[in-house]
Amino acid sequence: MSATLGDYVEWLGQGEIREIERLAGFLGPLRVQHINSTAEGGGVAEILHRLIPLKKEVGLHPQWTVIEGEQAFFDATKAFHNALHGRRTEISREAFHVFRETGKKNLNKVQRDADVVVIHDPQPLPLVEARDQTRARWVWRCHIDLSEADPRVWGFLRGFVERFDAAIFHLPEYTQHVGIDQYLLMPAIDPLSEKNRDLPSGEVQKVLERFSVDPERPILLQVSRFDYLKDPLGVLEAYRKVKRWADCQLVLAGGGASDDPEGERVYREVLSRVDDADVHVLQLPPDSHREINALQRAATIVIQKSIKEGFGLVVTEAMWKGKPVIGGNVGGIRRQVLHGVTGFLVNTVEGAAFRIRQLLSDPVLRQRMGEQARELVRSRFLLPHYLRNWLLVLLALRNPGRGVFRLGLPAD
Ligand code: UDP
């Protein structure tokens, strides 16, 4: 059963909840169609699963639609994704063609009577071709870090983006020179979801047992899609360096997303480098929310050594469970892992190994950072915060032409 807004009072207070209801009241039964490219796996699907019911509860009429595409389309969009994240990537002319054509085939998915159409990430961007058949306002919700985007790919996509009314980015450094309004808002996690709600310790123990992880010895954990940008190989190397000095186990848990064709290759590469019984590489089905919840709760330290990271919901999830996080010094991780306060930011394998050793040897520091981490999430990154900022964007869309807005972002 879905949570109701009132269920969040214990963390946000009655005032915040009333404000959300009041803001929603100004909007009325607005028809908001969200369109993305996967129903499960990855952060976008994770958020939509929880945001849609809550938007419904406050009186909006949200809808979630997933576009369809062939393998060649997802190969193309994964290559775009890597290139937008600044990774050197070969992209054929054919990939651009497939991208456009798949867009055309999905045009009928646009709800003609929508008031607002929200396109998530680059995959469904060409659906904006259907714009003239609607009277909707069009919003591009970008979840990735565009600060070092490959100019060829961004130059191509930008032609679509400029036909929207507005774009939403996580962070100021991701904004672009596009002639449309841009909003900044950071995502959030749902404390009441299977992924994040409290679990009895017996259940945590059972999950460890199932995966043959020893509950008596320290556990280092990274949860991620198997993706080079999440640097699972770097985590493995850091673990090896630590292991020479300190007893610990490493769990690399992840699964695929239906719009990410690279996962299997990266998973196999990680597996091929493991020669230690204390390393557990777990390929989990997409509905493994309770298992991930349990692993995050059982972890001594959570690692997210990404090379690029739009936001990093897994970091938020771990912090909510009171864990110190050692994170790559990139993107949205930097807004969550406050260096020396909620965890440590690292730039190298050596840096990661150093901080792991430091935290393993200092339970008091771990405890303090974990508490601070949870409080940061409580105050900024819970789902109702995100809903509130969304409502503000929907209201602001009525009054366009204002440039860049920051919503719920603290000053730098
Ligand atoms: N996730 C999951 N199963 C996996 C790997 C990840 O459910 O095997 C979830 C994870 O808990 C988080 C989301 O997918 O909620 C990943 O979001 P994030 O922003 O960290 O990264 P993305 O995959 O969007 O790049």
E strands of 160-278, at which residues?
A: 166-169, 181-184, 219-223, 249-254
Nearest to 20 by CA among 397, 406, 395: 395
Identify whether 128 is part of a domain: yes
- CA-to-CA distance for 351 and 327, rounded, in angstroms? 10
Domain match, 359 and 386 both: no
Instruction: Say how many domains are in the chain.
Output: 2
Q: Looking at the structure, do residues 162 and 100 belong to the same domain, yes or no?
A: yes
Task: Tell me, yes or no, whether 61 and 87 share the same domain.
Answer: yes
Tell me whether residue 224 is in a domain: yes
Q: Do the domain assignments include residue 193?
A: no
Residue 194 lies in a domain: no
Residues 365 and 389 in one domain: no
Nearest-CA residue for ligand 1 atom 10 is 314
Same domain, 58 and 166: yes
250: CATH: 3.40.50.2000
Q: Phi and psi at residue 31, in whole multiples of 5°?
A: -90, 110
Burial 186-202 (b: 16+ CB within 10 A, else e): bbbbbbbbebbeebeee
Distance 379 CA to ligand 1 centre (A): 22
Please tell me the predicted confidence (pLDDT) of residue 13.
96
Shared-domain flag, residues 293 and 400: no
Centre of ligand 1 from the C-alpha of residue 181, in Å: 29
pTM for this prediction: 0.94
What average pLDDT does the structure give for the chain?
95
Please give the average per-residue pLDDT across 7-23, as a whole number: 96
- Residue 179 Cα to ligand 1 midpoint, Å, equals 32
Q: Is the CB of 225 under 6 A from ligand 1?
A: yes
Please say if the pLDDT value at position 412 is more than 90: no
85: Cα separation from own chain's centroid: 14
Determine if ligand 1 sits within 6 Å of the CB of residue 331: no
- What is the per-residue pLDDT across 274-324, written as a single tens digit (0 to 9) for each? 999 999 999 999 899 999 999 999 999 999 999 999 999 999 999 999 999
pLDDT in tens, 215-241: 999 999 999 999 999 999 999 999 999
Pairing of strands 325-328, 301-304: parallel
Write the CB contacts of 44 (distance below 8 Å, at least 6 apart in sequence): 36, 38, 120, 121, 143
Coil vs helix vs strand at 328: strand
Residue 45 and residue 270: Cα distance in Å, rounded? 25
Residue 195 lies in a domain: no
142: exposed, middle or buried (C-beta count within 10 Å: 0-12, 13-18, 19+)?
buried
Same-domain pairing of 221 and 166? no
Residue located nearest, by CA, to atom 9 of ligand 1: 42
Residue 96 and residue 167 in one domain: yes
Boundaries of domain holding 73: 5-188+382-407
168 and 267 inside one domain: no
Domain identity same for 314 and 403: no
Q: What's the rounded mean pLDDT across residues 32-42? A: 93
Span 144-182, pLDDT tens digits: 999 999 999 999 999 999 999 999 999 999 999 999 999
3-class SS at 141?
A: strand
Per-residue pLDDT, 1: 56
Report the alpha-carbon distance of residue 124 to residue 320 in Å, rounded. Answer: 32
Q: Is residue 412 part of a domain?
A: no
The answer on pLDDT for 406 being more than 90 is no
In terms of domains, do 392 and 371 share one?
Answer: no
Is 117 a domain residue?
yes
- Give the pLDDT of residue 408: 66
Query: Is there a single domain that holds both residue 90 and residue 152?
Result: yes
Measured in Å, residue 18 CA sits from the centre of ligand 1 at 31
Question: Which phi and psi (to 5°) does residue 139 adopt?
Answer: -125, 135
